[in-house]
Amino acid sequence: MKEATSPVPIVRNDTQAIHQLYAQNVIPSYGRFDLALSHGAGARVWDMGGRQYLDLAGGIAVCSLGHANPEITRALVEQSQRLLHVSNLYYTEPQARLAEKLVKNLGPGKVFFCNSGAEANEGLYKVARKFGNAEGRFEILTALNSFHGRTLAGISATGQEKVKKGFEPMVSGFRHIPFNDLEAARNALSPATVAILIEPIQGETGITPATVDYLLGLRQLCDDHKLLLLLDEVQGGIFRTGKFASYQRILESEAGAAGFMPDAVSLAKSLGGGFPIGAFWVREPYSNLLSAGTHGTTFGGNPLGAAVALRVLEVIERDNLADRARQLGEWMKSKLLALCGEFPTVLKTVRGYGMMIGIELADNIQAFSGSEKTASIQFINKLHDAGVMAVPSGANIIRLLPPLNLSESEADEGLRLIRSVAQSLSQQ
Ligand SMILES: *Cc1c(COP(=O)(O)O)cnc(C)c1O
């Protein structure tokens, strides 16, 4: 087979022209940073002016094997030479093999493939509605400060006012409860309640993990009231925390958690290592609720996406990247905690698991007082100036979601750059 020729990077400083084209032609629904990116390799990205950045954002927990990974390229090329797409009216091998792999990692059940996280969550809502339909139950409880995607049902499920504003009325049948508060969940149940949906680690609002007691308590509550426990693993899944799913990591050494299983799990982001693919898994005996003709999507589980996701999972397993994410992530977390001690007027604390790290900034950072922008955005702008990329999570938390194959020297370099930013801010 002919090797794919690697793309020749075009490094021209026409950032201004790109900005102009966006301003004229792209719907301005995103607040964007002032970087126009050209190409990448591993954990590095270059902007159109040729400046290099260490990418600890990973496309918001997507590029789990880094940029321009040759094995992903090979899977793309090989599969595209066989079969890019056929509809779901037929069977293909990559979809079958990928489903088998996901079931192996989550437990006895079945998988549906889609194209994004919001769509994977839509599947969970439909499973829950189907489950409760005969009894007239339809209500899904979700957590405050959650994030479940930007479709109309997604923003209805999301427990943040800012995503709903201007789009009312919301899809009915969602109600929000405080996160990590089992009593509140119990008190919120109504005769119409059919499911509880949470992120085991809330990703968009500060990398906030569910407690062991909360996860186990919700499982019990759902069992007692015939509710489905739905987990959104779109951001925390695919070995980022050191286990396939983040709930598995949170519960891993808990004796009382043996046999814990959610009823359904949504996945996307890292699943394709940068290729858009989502999925949801439903456990037995609920995995046949969505019978023939009740759910579907044109592109879901197409051979190209499935072949790439399969390769991503094979590489993670072969190279033991789950353990690497766990160990390097814990090491980075300990170093970052030390920085909090060194620069307490800038950095408050650090939390997360593996390669899903949240750095909470100190309140009222002096150097940021003159701007309307959130502290997290101002901090990230400083990181960009220093040559490192990260993602804001809420108004005062910085997220690190690096590739799982980040090297120790890259991790060390990232920490040095973060330290230099914290140090200069502490002196202002
Ligand atoms: C990103 C994200 C989503 C939405 O995924 P999209 O692919 O952007 O639709 C849903 N839930 C969580 C937890 C996420 O992090």
Integer angstrom CA distances of residue 276 from 62, 65, 76, 187, 426: 9, 14, 12, 38, 40
Residue 264, SS3 per DSSP? strand
Q: Which of 207, 208, 234 for mutating ligand 1's site (highest number of atoms within 8 Å of CB)?
A: 234
pLDDT of the residue at 15: 86
Report how far ligand 1's centroid is from the alpha carbon of 247 (Å): 17
pLDDT of the residue at 8: 55
Report how far ligand 1's centroid is from the alpha carbon of 370 (Å): 32
pLDDT of the residue at 14: 83
Q: Which of 129, 149, 99, 138 is nearest to 290 (CA)?
A: 129
pLDDT tens readout for residues 228-239: 999 999 999 999
Q: What does the block give as tokens for 34?
A: 């002032």
106 bridge partner residues: none
Q: Which of 124, 142, 148 for mutating ligand 1's site (highest number of atoms within 8 Å of CB)?
A: 148
pLDDT of the residue at 288: 97
**What radius of gyration, in Å, describes the C-alpha atoms of the chain?**
22
Are 146 and 246 in contact, with CB atoms under 8 Å apart?
no
The pLDDT confidence band at residue 428, using thresholds 50, 70 and 90, is confident
Report how far ligand 1's centroid is from the alpha carbon of 235 (Å): 7
Mean pLDDT of 28-38: 95
If you search the block for the tokens 């943040």, which residue do you land on? 160
To the nearest 10 degrees (0 to 180), the angle between helices 303-318 and 70-82 is: 150
pTM for the full model?
Answer: 0.96
Following DSSP, what letter does each residue of 92-140 receive, concatenated? -HHHHHHHHHHHHHH-SEEEEEESSHHHHHHHHHHHHHHHHGGGT--EE
CA atoms within 13 A on the CB side of 312: 32
What is the helix (H) or strand (E) element at residue 47, kind and residue range?
A: strand 44-47
CB atoms within 10 A of CB 194: 26
What is the distance, to the nearest Å, from the Cα of residue 410 to the centroid of all Cα atoms in its chain?
22
Residues 6+ apart with CB under 8 A from 332: 357, 400, 411, 414, 415
Q: What does the block give as tokens for 260?
A: 């814990």
Nearest protein CA to atom 11 of ligand 1, as residue: 148
pLDDT of the residue at 159: 98
pLDDT of the residue at 6: 58
Report how far ligand 1's centroid is from the alpha carbon of 189 (Å): 26
Q: What's 207's DSSP letter?
A: -
Ordered strands of the 356-361 beta sheet: 347-353, 356-361, 397-400, 391-392
Looking at the CA of residue 146, tell me the nearest atom of ligand 1.
13
Residues 6+ apart with CB under 8 A from 291: none
Please give the share of the chain, as a percent, with pLDDT higher than 70.
97
Would you say the C-alpha torsion 132, 135, 139, 140 has a positive or negative sign?
negative
**Mean per-residue pLDDT over the chain, rounded:** 96
Looking at the CA of residue 269, tell me the nearest atom of ligand 1.
7
Provide the pairing of β-strand 139-143 with 174-177.
Answer: parallel
Residues in the ligand 1 pocket, defined by CB under 6 Å: 116-118, 121, 147-149, 199, 203-204, 232, 234-235, 268-269
Q: Go through the domains of the chain in sequence order and give each one's CATH number.
A: 15-62+321-426 (3.90.1150.10), 72-318 (3.40.640.10)
Mean pLDDT of 207-233: 98
pLDDT of the residue at 263: 98
Looking at the CA of residue 202, tell me the nearest atom of ligand 1.
13
Looking at the CA of residue 121, tell me the nearest atom of ligand 1.
10
Nearest protein CA to atom 15 of ligand 1, as residue: 235
d(CA 371, CA 50): 29
